[in-house]
Amino acid sequence: MEFQGRGYGSQILAALEKSAEYKGYTRLILDTTSRQIPAQKLFLKNNYIEFSRRKYDEMELIYYCKILKDN
Q: Tens digit of pLDDT for each residue in 11-63? A: 999 999 999 999 999 999 999 999 999 999 999 999 999 999 999 999 999 99
**CATH code of the domain occupying 8-67:** 3.40.630.30
Which phi and psi angles does 29 have, rounded to 5°?
A: -120, 125
Pairing mode of beta strands 27-33, 49-56: unpaired
Which pLDDT does position 71 carry in this prediction?
Answer: 52
If we measure between CA atoms, which residue out of 31, 39, 40, 27 comes closest to residue 66? Answer: 27
Q: Where are the domains of the chain?
A: 8-67
Residue pair 63/55 in contact by the 8 Å Cβ criterion? no
Which pLDDT does position 49 carry in this prediction?
Answer: 98
What is this structure's pTM? 0.85
Residue 69 confidence (pLDDT) above 90: no
Which phi and psi angles does 52 have, rounded to 5°?
A: -165, 155
